[in-house]
Structure 1
Amino acid sequence: MKGGAPMDSYQLTPLGDQALVITLGDSIDPVVNRRLQTLIKEIRQANLPGIVALIPAYSTLTVTYDGIVTNYDKLSHTLKPLIDSSLSAPLATPTTWLIPVRYGGDGGPDLADVANFADQSTGEVVQAHTDQDYLIYFLGFLPGFAYMGSVDDKIAMPRLAKPRLEIPAGSVGIAGKQTGFYPVASPGGWRIIGQTPLNLYDPAHPQSFYSAGDRVRFFAVTDHEFDLIKTDVANGTYQVKAVN
């Protein structure tokens, strides 16, 4: 399947007595995930009775429902035409968010280790990390935590054997082929290579500016640029740039 071509198969299976799983594939594939995001939008727009939550992963969507209102047979029958429609619909052009990152230093303690793993200089690791756009496959683990891929094979270093007890908010890391940023301070085992000055999560406004299906393009900034952006973010005057 290339270039956003329609898909011709999927699986629909029950999960307990109040959930079902829609499976579009069995691998981390950007086109499959974009189809999944299209399906999520169609289900939300349909406003089907009884649906409690939509829980996406890389290539699956778990749909939980109120067993008093609906059941597996009824809901799966209703979902099938929506799935068929989403699998053949044209794919929308995703928004690409430009995210500033200060690589290395105290905010990127694992950059040197990733460079050693890749047999490259730290500058080459930064170049590899910023040279491509990353698809946000889904949000999870923490509010606003974006699972993105795919990292260049050369720098796809596995997670830490022993997770850190606290990783600062804004930290940007690598875990194998995945990359992501920590919206809030949290324990974690990702290889931290830098930090963004952006405020990625605000409890007063929990909806992130980015969402699953968007793309992220990281760009390197200096210490001085980092401090300027951080000040603008605190003052509410920094606007995250985006391209289509």
Structure 2
Amino acid sequence: MKFKIVPIGEQALNIVFPEKIDVRENQLIHNLAASLKQQSHLGIVDLIPAYHTLTVNFDVGLTDFEQLSRQLETFIQAEKTTEITAASQRVVEIPVCYGGQYGPDLTAVAKFAELTPQQVIALHCQQPYYVYFLGFLPGFAYAGFVPDKIAMPRLQQPRLKLAAGSVGIAGKQTGMYPVASPGGWQIIGQTPLKLYDPTNPLPPYHAGDWLQFKAITAADFDQIQQASIAGKYQVKTYRLSETKGAN
């Protein structure tokens, strides 16, 4: 496993892996983060995985960059990575109402792709998407990759406010806005799921999961939204090995 360690402040460093967006490399980063969480003697305070980096925040009262770097190099080189099989990977199903008031940019994406809106929906739902990391907002999943045909760039002028649950595309990425927020992604739909609750901030998915979008009707949206708000909706999950394939 090739990597380098660089300082990014007095209390943090980055473990940098080859600069690529790759599912297997990202899975190795998440496995490494999980293993390092068990190493309490290293003085690590927090671990933040991203596409090809792992940010390590540490307690300067317990360690410093030089000491921790040496320990991390030794640990990583000795770490045995386990192959992650499809049978062990979780898929989380996300119901989405596409187009209209729920997806104001669906028509624009269809025009960009030279497809009908229904064809765009079919493409967006045809495969699960790997969640590389969570960021920007609590529970915001950076997932990919959407088919090239519908990989439309971000809006040139971001909107000042998007509804919670808005589902968008930004180039090859796709994801959901867990709370109402400004945003520049191409919004093609909205999920009725309550993705963020300050009393229980963990979303129904996490980095390393896969998201499978499922098209629903406006009537379905209202019904699921009411159940989700009441805490009575059970999000469907299954294993990646049960799907037709993954990108």
TM tier, shorter chain? over 0.9
Could you tell me which of 89, 94, 109 is aligned with 1:94? 89
Give distance in 1, aligned partners of 2:92 and 2:205: 7
TM-score (norm 1): 0.93
> How many residues matched?
237
CA shift digits 1:93-118 (9 cap, x unpaired): 22110010000010100000000000
CA drift at 1:85: 4.9
Contact 1:22-1:60 within 8 A present in 2 as well: yes
CA shift digits 1:55-98 (9 cap, x unpaired): 22101011121222101222122222432355632225221100
User: Secondary structure at the residue paired with 1:90?
Assistant: coil
Write out aligned runs for 1:54-203 (5 A).
54-86=47-79, 88-91=81-84, 93-203=88-198
RMSD over aligned CA atoms reads: 1.4
Contact 1:52-1:64 within 8 A present in 2 as well: yes
**Structure 2 gap segments, 5+ residues each:** 240-247
| 1:221 to 2:177 alignment | no
TM-score (norm 2): 0.92
User: Secondary structure at the residue paired with 2:75?
Assistant: helix
Q: 1:85 to 1:41 in 2, by over 3 A?
A: farther
CA shift digits 1:141-165 (9 cap, x unpaired): 0011010011110000000000000
User: Secondary structure at the residue paired with 1:208?
Assistant: coil
Counterpart code for 1:58? Y
- Residue in structure 1 matched with residue 25 of structure 2 by the alignment: 32
| 1:232 to 2:230 alignment | no
Q: 1:59 to 1:166 in 2, by over 3 A?
A: same
User: Secondary structure at the residue paired with 2:178?
Assistant: coil
- Residue in structure 1 matched with residue 244 of structure 2 by the alignment: none
User: Secondary structure at the residue paired with 1:210?
Assistant: coil
User: Secondary structure at the residue paired with 2:38?
Assistant: helix
User: Secondary structure at the residue paired with 1:180?
Assistant: strand
Bigger Cα displacement from structure 2, 212-221 vs 63-72: 63-72
Identical-residue share of aligned pairs (%): 50
- Residue in structure 1 matched with residue 2 of structure 2 by the alignment: 9
Give distance in 2, aligned partners of 1:227 and 1:16: 47
CA drift at 1:18: 2.2
- Residue in structure 2 matched with residue 3 of structure 1 by the alignment: none
Give distance in 1, aligned partners of 2:77 and 2:131: 23
**Structure 1 gap segments, 5+ residues each:** 1-7
Bigger Cα displacement from structure 2, 141-150 vs 77-86: 77-86
